[in-house]
Structure 1
Amino acid sequence: MIEKTEIHRHTIAVLVDNEFGVLARVVGLFSGRGYNIESLTVAKVDEKENLSRITIVTTGTMMVIEQIKAQLNRLVPVHSIADLTLDGPSVEREMALVKVEGTGEKRVEALRMADIFRASAVDVTESSLVFEVTGDREKVKAFVALMEPLGEVEVCRTGIVALKRGHETI
């Protein structure tokens, strides 16, 4: 059972019109009320209907999460909202590019670690490697943490993308 006063992490998917200013209005809703966004991804998903999907990861009590969903529902360009955390099983993934600078044995160790994590080397130079790693956020965090002792690391993450499992859609 979910406690009403506990802080929980929620993944919310929002289907909106793909038009100028919609993302700013959604983000403004969060910033204007002091809600935090941990992850935000957005892309056009329907050419014919001109729709975009925004995936937001946020935290809050159940009351705050319900307020966020209610306020999102009031925005005119919003077509539907799904709380993927509550609406049943879903699949979440994140992609990261991780650059590791190093030579010699550290380079070999980075390649070994990448193989274990099923990360792909997408760029190789004499002094650095760039890996692409995909998975849940814990996998991405673990990969970055293991790369850090091997050399200077630069990271670029996509943010969470998520879908409901099964035949249901938002």
Structure 2
Amino acid sequence: MRHTISVQVENKFGVLSRVAGLFSGRGYNIESISVGETLDPKISVMTIVTRGENQIVEQINKQLNKLIDVIKVQDLFDVDHVEREMVMIKITPTQEQKAEVLRLAEIFRGRVVDSSLKTYTIEITGDESKIEAFLELVKPMGVKEFVRSGKIAIARERSRG
């Protein structure tokens, strides 16, 4: 099963290495990892995506909590949350395909972030299925290369009332 884990850590040298080492030491792959500062520059949040049986990932979460620089661990598997990632795609359409590429970018709420005589670089932000759908539609138009960010996620607040 796929798990998205949010880990709040002290923003210190070596923390990322220790967290990644915990996964590799148990033979688990990290599908994606994103790290960034919070409102407090002394604290960062890591969003880690991995696959594994629930009880194994639960053990990993317990081990994460034992790391000295870890403040909080939250497995978002059973938590209502919002997740996004970003992709930048360099497309080399033919002259006849250029308008279609721009139309698709608009439909997917993407934007052209760079262009040349032969290429468009388009940025798309959304959930994994949106990004996969866009990539499938533009592949026949000449995807030269693309890069993806890791997933970021945040738990939803519960409504009170």
TM-score of the aligned structures, taking structure 2 as reference length: 0.94
Query: Match of 1:159?
Result: 150
Deviations 1:123-143 (Å, cap 9, x if unpaired)?
A: 111100010101001111111
TM-score by length of 1: 0.89
**CA distance in 2: counterparts of 1:79 and 1:30, whole angstroms:** 18
Q: Does 1:148 align with 2:153?
A: no
**Per-residue deviation, residues 37-79 of structure 1 (Å, max 9, x unmatched):** 111000111436x001000011101111111101101111000
**Shift of the alpha carbon at 1:25?**
0.2
Amino acid at match of 2:36: A
CA distance in 1 between partners of 2:39 and 2:20 (Å):
21
Match status 1:76 vs 2:68: yes
Aligned to 1:22: 15
CA distance, structure 1, for counterparts of residue 83 and residue 120 of structure 2: 26
Distance across 1 between alignment mates of 2:96 and 2:77: 42
Identity in percent: 47
CA contact (8 A) 2:94 2:141 kept: no
Gaps of 5+ in 1: 1-7
Q: Which residue of structure 1 aligns with residue 127 of structure 2?
A: 136
TM superposition shift of 1:167: 5.7
Match of 1:59 among 40, 51, 66: 51
Extract unaligned runs of 5+ from structure 2. none
C-alpha distance after superposition, 1:80-103 (max 9, x if no partner): 0111122x2100000111110123
Equivalence for 1:100: 91
Q: How many residues align?
A: 159
Calculate the aligned-residue CA RMSD, in Å.
1.4
2:77 to 73, 85, 90: 85
The one-letter code matched in structure 1 to 2:58 is: E
Q: Which residue of 1 aligns with 2:25?
A: 32
C-alpha deviation, 1:152, in angstroms: 3.3
Contact 1:123 1:131 in 2 (8 A): yes
Secondary structure of the residue aligned to 2:38 is strand
